[in-house]
Amino acid sequence: ATAYEFILTSTPRPGVGQITINRPKALNALSTPLMKELNAAVKSFATDGKTGAIVLTGSERAFAAGADIKEMAPLTFSSAYKTDFIQLWSDLTQCPIPIIAAVNGYALGGGCELAMMCDIIFCGPKAVFGQPEIKLGTIPGGGGSQRLTRAIGKSKAMEIILTGKNFSGKEAEKWGLASKVFETAEATVEGALETAETIAGYGGVAVKAAKEVVNQAYEGNLAEGVKYERRMFHALFATKDQKIGMTAFAEKKKPEWSHE
Ligand code: CO8
C-alpha cells in the first residue's frame, strides 16, 4: 500500500475504495500536495481492475474547509495563470468509475466544489455547505459557480455565492444538491459504502456507460444527449454483460458479470 501524508485509503467492502481526507489540523483544507495524493489514489483505484466505485469522505468535523487559504494568499495573477493553478484539482472528474462524496461537517469553497465534482453527494445532519469565497475577495475557482447553479438553480446559487452564506445538509438535500441526508455522520459513510457496493456489484462496462450518459445530460444539451444515450445504449448490445444480464433474468438466475 502507498503511504500518503494527507489522505487515508482502504477497501472496506468488496469492489469499494474509500478515500478519507485526513488533514485534521487544517480542517482538511485542500492544498496542492493533498490534491496530488487524492488524484493518485483515485487513479490507483480506477485502474486496479478490482474497484467498481469510490467513496470520498473527510472527518466528522470537516469534509474539506476549502482550498488552502494560506497557500493561495501570496499568489499573483501571473503565477496562477502561468501554472494554471488548480487545473489539476479537477482530474477527479475524469475518473471512469463512480465517486460518492460522503459529506460531514464543513464542505466550504473548494470543499463544496470537490463534493460537486463527485457523482453522488450523501451528507450528514451536521454538513455545512457554502461558497464563502466572496468574503475573501474572490470567487469560486473549482467549478462551483457552474455546478452549484446547475444543481440548485440560478436564484439560490446567486444568493449563496453573492452572500457567502452557508447552507445545511438538509437544505442541500431539499434543493437537490445532495441525494440523501442521513441521521448521523457514521450512517452517512455507511450509506455511501453500501451504495458504492451496490454499484460495484454491476457490470463495469454498463456502470461506466451509465455515468457517461448522465454526465452528458449534466454537461450538454438535451437533443445531443438523447442521441448520445441511444448510441451508447446500442453499443452495449456488443458487450458480454448485456447477454449475461438479460439471459440471467430470463433464466431466473443471478448474473455473474464478466465486466466485458
Ligand atoms: N485554508 C487553510 N487553513 C484553514 C482553512 C482553509 N480553507 N480552513 C480552516 N483552516 C485552518 C485554520 O486556519 C486553523 O488553523 P490554525 O489552528 O493553525 O489557526 C484550523 O484550520 C482550524 O480552523 P478554525 O480555528 O478557523 O476552526 P473554527 O471551528 O473556528 O472555524 C471554519 C471553522 C468556519 C470552517 C473556519 O475555519 C473557516 O472559515 N475556514 C475557511 C473557510 C473558507 O473560506 N473556505 C473557502 C476557501 S477559498 C476556496 O476554497 C477557493 C476554491 C478554489 C478552487 C478549489 C477547487 C477544488
- Work out the average pLDDT over 130-154: 96
Burial category of 73 from C-beta neighbours within 10 Å (exposed 0-12, middle 13-18, buried 19 and up): exposed
Helix (H, G, I), strand (E, B) or coil at 218: helix
- Work out the average pLDDT over 3-31: 97
Q: What percent of the chain has pLDDT over 70?
A: 99
The edge-to-edge listing of strands for the beta sheet with 106-108 is 62-64, 106-108, 128-130, 167-168
Work out the mean pLDDT of the chain and round it to a whole number.
Answer: 96
Structure confidence at residue 162 (pLDDT) = 98
Q: 53 — alpha (psi -120 to 50), left (phi > 0) or beta?
A: beta
Structure confidence at residue 147 (pLDDT) = 96
Residue 235 clears pLDDT 60, i.e. is over it: yes
Confidence of residue 1 (pLDDT cuts 50, 70, 90): low
Report d(CA 63, CA 66) in Å as an integer.
Answer: 9
Confidence of residue 154 (pLDDT cuts 50, 70, 90): very high
Question: Which mutation among 6, 23, 27, 91 tests ligand 1's pocket best, with the greatest number of atoms within 8 A of CB?
Answer: 27
- Work out the average pLDDT over 31-51: 97
Report d(CA 95, CA 70) in Å as an integer.
Answer: 28
- Work out the average pLDDT over 234-240: 94
Query: Residue 54 corresponds to which amino acid?
Result: I
Would you say how long the chain is, in residues?
Answer: 260
- pTM (predicted TM-score): 0.95
Structure confidence at residue 2 (pLDDT) = 66
Which tens digits make up the pLDDT trace of 196-206? 999 999 999 99
Cα dihedral sign, 57-127-93-193: positive
Query: Distance, CA 170 to ligand 1 centroid (Å)?
Result: 22
Structure confidence at residue 124 (pLDDT) = 98
Q: Which residues line ligand 1 (CB under 6 A)?
A: 26-27, 29-30, 65-70, 86, 89, 106, 108-110, 113-114, 132-133, 136, 140-142
